[in-house]
Chain A
Amino acid sequence: MQFHSLTVFDKEKCAHFFEHLTEYFHEHHHSENQDPETYENLLYTVRRPYTPDMLDEIDDWMGIPRRKWREETQREVMLSLYAIRYPDTLLIESLTEKAKSDIKRLSAYLHFTHHTYSIWDEDTRKGLEKLGIMIPPVEHADPFIYGAYVSAIELLKDVAPFTCFLEHDVPRQRLFQSALAAYGRDA
């Protein structure tokens, strides 16, 4: 999947997106429903040792219902957050079905604990699709599909011109993911 997404990458298709990337970023990240202030606070407050309260705060910011997991599931996910090393996503495969059931939730936990992982978002996926990078829509966390999503965003970071790089207090993965989300929504 990762190999596929990288080989079909069409640079010409990205020209418009790169030219307007900073505007797209502002449109998404600074929108009311993205609550940038809380997002930026979470960059600081989510830190080791991870606690269930931190995961609650992430759930709240994401606007998703708080997880209803058994104690073991929560422990298992927390341990995986300590163990995982960017850009590995295969560790997700070892999680139980309940933990893997929601890619948005799991990707948000990965993002706030590691910053280098991107939040999974349907609009972002559509944004990638408009650039010719086809990532299938999913709800459960498939390590290969999420891996392709993460590496596609990484690839865009690599090939983007310097004008895309804001001196902003958000990780570059968030900069690109937010811009892609706005671009994906843009008809």
Chain B
Amino acid sequence: MADTEIVESYSQNFESWINDFSEWQTRIGFDPSWLGDYRFDIKFDWDTAGNEIEFGDFQGMPKWNRRMQIPQQNIMDAIITMVSVQGDTEFASVEQQNHLLASAPTEYDRKSALRIMCEEQRHGWQMAYLLCTFFGEQGVREASKLLERNAQEGTRILGSFNEPIDHWLDFFCFTHFIDRDGKYQLKMLSTSSFKPLAASMGPMLKEESFHLGTGANGLRRIVKQGVIPIALLQKYINKWVSTGLDLFGTDDSTSAQWAYVYGIKGRYDERESDIEADREHLNEASRELYFEELRKEMVRISKSRKEGEPELYIPSDRFKRGIGKYAGQSYTVHGDLFEGSDSEYEEYLSSVLPTDEDEDRLVNEYMKKEWIQYREWKG
């Protein structure tokens, strides 16, 4: 049961951060008037957060409500890092996407994207609140950095959040593939031993489901419309899947293992799973669940294609990886080791990933037509 608490008054640290936030909005070109009556509330779902630490070496002890209850400095540092990375992605996505509002294919899409951007800002706002309220000077410094790094300058912490999102196809891929990773991260933090972090996740996850739905439905509407060829669409899927898989971090990750030991970040299915966690392969386990979910979703999306069109698929998890055991190796989209020279592999990549010519055709030819199924905004 989710009884959401909305925080009514803020600390001085957070009040000054809010001033910086307003400047950040102006700097990135997000007009605050676009928010309408939307408010950046700080929301906590304390009931769902639980009272006892659920896994790791502190299992069974009360969850930590304040900084002073956290038993070790390194645990506090790890929590600050997690909150900072989460907050960083929230603001980054707004920097990546806000220019798209001017070119939305329909009013429904414009309003959906705007809602997503409002909610991403609220999520970032919530993470900054945690930093400023619970982690003293160190937290205040990290909260400031959330507004200093910038996606357009390539200084955001995670690779996917520095990638340009040039058009609406990238937007739908981003919300489908990358926001889906976000859902995994939020769910893994929803069982955290640091209770204010765990309690922040419920309301954020509720909002995140709309973001994922926008991505999946957007891709489905494109497939249904049948203007953008499936083969071209497949290239964009190939582009975004590998970056989504990389977001889960390295294989055999010791930091994931420590986060589990400290109880600050669990498995995606922590509460549902009845088997012991394989602490040495936590990232791999979450990534596999994500990968499986992508495959199922793509079957649904692909069902809408016109007769005679090939089926869309999720490329192999070996393809074009930047992190993990397949990083930097030459694999095909089907997971076979590429046999050929580096230049031949480059040529192969241009057949399975979007090229400049593809981008040009997409934007200047297909997107000039009715390229996505119309949907009316119904308020």
Contacts and interface: CB of A to CB of B under 8 A. Distances in A.
A115 B379 CA distance: 8
Nearest to B271: A163
B376 A162 contact: no
B30 to A, nearest CB: 25
Interface residues of B, number: 25
B212 interface: yes
B48 A48 contact: no
A120 interface: no
Interface string A4-22: 0000000110110010000
B1 A169 contact: no
Chain A interface size band reads 20 to 34
Interface in B335-379: 373-376, 378-379
A178 interface: no
A91 interface: no
A79 interface: no
Nearest to B272: A163
Interface of B: 1-4, 45, 48, 190, 201-203, 205-206, 209-210, 212-213, 216-217, 220, 373-376, 378-379
29 contacts: A11-B3, A12-B1, A15-B1, A43-B375, A44-B374, A44-B375, A44-B376, A85-B379, A86-B379, A113-B378, A114-B378, A114-B379, A116-B378, A116-B379, A159-B1, A159-B2, A159-B4, A160-B2, A161-B45, A162-B48, A162-B190, A162-B201, A162-B206, A162-B209, A165-B205, A166-B209, A167-B216, A169-B216, A169-B220
Which 4 pairs from chain A and chain B are nearest by CB? A162-B205, A47-B376, A165-B209, A167-B212
Interface of A: 11-12, 14-15, 18, 43-44, 47-48, 85-86, 113-116, 158-162, 165-169
